[in-house]
């Protein structure tokens, strides 16, 4: 009796210990530390804030065999060098957005943000239940990058720009120097805007020095934190160029292959959870920021006229035609996404209330 009681007591003590939560196979797994430089400061809500939460989830779900150390922008690798650094093995992982590689991989912006493109729900549907995820990895493989890509966050629509004066027509855009991201930047170039792509932390100084006249960057809550309202007061909506923006965790492929199946699954699950969490965070935090911008900072919120939106849309069609002709893989991804969207449009038309 005493022996049985001792066994039961020992079993209960083990069950209550932290080790009990660790599967037997995890205890014998090789420990991996992902050193992860990021393109966006963790203080930026929805943009950089998801990755520290992912780091915590990796540790907890792996039983401590998989950890992530997050490095703020410029602390380890510059934002625009993350892809090359991960591929070469200089670092073993990085958190960024595929749109930053447009100069190296023409199709990459299609896995970041598409002008007049899918909103978050539709985008994720294509990624996870269409061919999006397969094409995403194929893009990096075909371009010769030694990386494994995992979609790891997605945010709500962005503001489409901060301007020093009201934009009433296409004429008001001509000659502007503007920070602009991705494929939307090609649209603005066709409309006479001189665009440049700057990391988030470099935008305010560029506005202050007059290097640029206007900018777009991210969600209202993010833009407010970066202080754009101090220099430019006209904030335009909707974000036609980024109705949803996706972010990626890049892992060096050799490191990925060295992980156990369980560790790989932990990364996949943590990032998929982050997709939902980052979108919810983005949706929740914007109205308060917009209200404060108007009431405390004198921001004038503007909505593009039907004529301007039509101009952006028509110009975007010209950009797509050119990109499809220039790059075969861009054409492959664009055609697949377009086919998926044509099918989704049937559901969208019938399933949702009209806007």
Digit-coded pLDDT (tens) for 271-286: 999 999 999 999 999 9
Strand 66-71 and strand 32-37: pairing?
parallel
Whether residue 224 sits in one domain with residue 186 = yes
Is residue 25 in some structural domain? Answer: no
Establish whether the linkage from the previous residue to 195 is cis, with ω within 30° of 0.
no
Tell me the whole-structure pTM to 2 decimals.
0.91
Q: Which residues fall within 8 angstroms of residue 111, CB to CB, at 6 or more apart?
A: 98, 99, 132, 135, 136, 139, 246, 248, 333
Same domain (yes/no): 39, 88: yes
User: At 304, which CATH number?
Assistant: 3.40.190.10
Determine the pLDDT at residue 159.
96
- Strand blocks (E) in 218-274: 234-237, 245-252
Please tell me the total count of domains within the chain.
2
- Residue 161 has which token pair? 């720009």
Domain that holds residue 147: 30-157+243-284
Inside any domain, residue 22: no
Residue 130 is assigned to a structural domain of this protein:
yes
Which residue ranges in the chain fall short of pLDDT 70?
1-28
> Length of the chain, please?
355
- Among candidates 77, 148, 151, 137, which has minimal Cα distance to 107? 137
Residues 306 and 185 in one domain: yes
Judge whether 181 lies within some domain. Answer: yes
Assess whether 203 and 64 both reside in one domain. no
Condensed to tens digits (0 to 9), the pLDDT of residues 94-152 reads: 999 999 999 999 999 999 999 999 999 999 999 999 999 999 999 999 999 999 999 99
Do the domain assignments include residue 23? no
Same domain, 81 and 224: no
Domain co-membership, 169 together with 49 = no
- pLDDT for the residue numbered 11: 38
Strands, DSSP E only, in the chain? 32-37, 66-71, 93-96, 147-155, 161-163, 177-179, 194-196, 214-215, 234-237, 245-252, 300-303
């Amino acid at each position: 009796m005493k022996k049985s009681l001792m066994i039961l007591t020992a079993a209960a003590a083990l069950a209550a210990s932290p080790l009990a939560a660790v599967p037997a196979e995890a205890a014998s797994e090789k420990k991996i530390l992902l050193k992860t430089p990021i393109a966006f400061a963790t203080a930026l809500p929805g943009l950089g804030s998801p990755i520290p939460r992912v780091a915590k989830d990796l540790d907890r779900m792996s039983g401590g065999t998989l950890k992530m150390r997050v490095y703020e922008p410029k602390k380890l690798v510059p934002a625009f060098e993350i892809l090359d650094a991960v591929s070469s093995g200089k670092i073993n992982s990085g958190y960024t957005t595929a749109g930053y590689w447009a100069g190296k991989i023409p199709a990459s912006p299609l896995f970041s943000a598409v002008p007049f493109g899918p909103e978050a729900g539709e985008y994720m549907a294509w990624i996870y239940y269409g061919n999006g995820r397969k094409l995403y990895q194929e893009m990096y493989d075909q371009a010769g990058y030694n990386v494994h890509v995992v979609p790891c966050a997605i945010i709500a629509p962005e503001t489409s720009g901060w301007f020093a004066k009201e934009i009433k027509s296409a004429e008001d855009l001509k000659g502007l120097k503007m920070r602009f991201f991705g494929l939307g930047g090609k649209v603005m170039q066709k409309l006479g805007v001189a665009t440049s792509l700057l990391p988030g932390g470099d935008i305010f100084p560029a506005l202050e020095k007059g290097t640029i006249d206007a900018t777009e960057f991210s969600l209202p809550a993010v833009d407010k934190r970066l202080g754009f309202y101090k220099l430019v007061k006209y904030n335009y909506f909707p974000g036609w160029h980024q109705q949803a923006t996706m972010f990626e965790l890049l892992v060096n492929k050799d490191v990925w292959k060295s992980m156990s199946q369980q560790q790989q699954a932990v990364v996949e699950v943590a990032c998929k959870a982050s997709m939902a969490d980052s979108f919810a965070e983005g949706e929740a935090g914007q109205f308060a920021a917009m209200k404060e911008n108007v009431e405390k900072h004198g921001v004038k919120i503007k909505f593009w006229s039907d004529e301007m939106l039509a101009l952006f849309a028509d110009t975007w069609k010209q950009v797509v035609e050119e990109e499809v002709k220039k790059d075969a893989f861009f054409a492959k991804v664009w055609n697949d996404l377009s086919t998926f969207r044509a099918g989704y449009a049937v559901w969208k038309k019938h399933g949702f209330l009209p806007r």
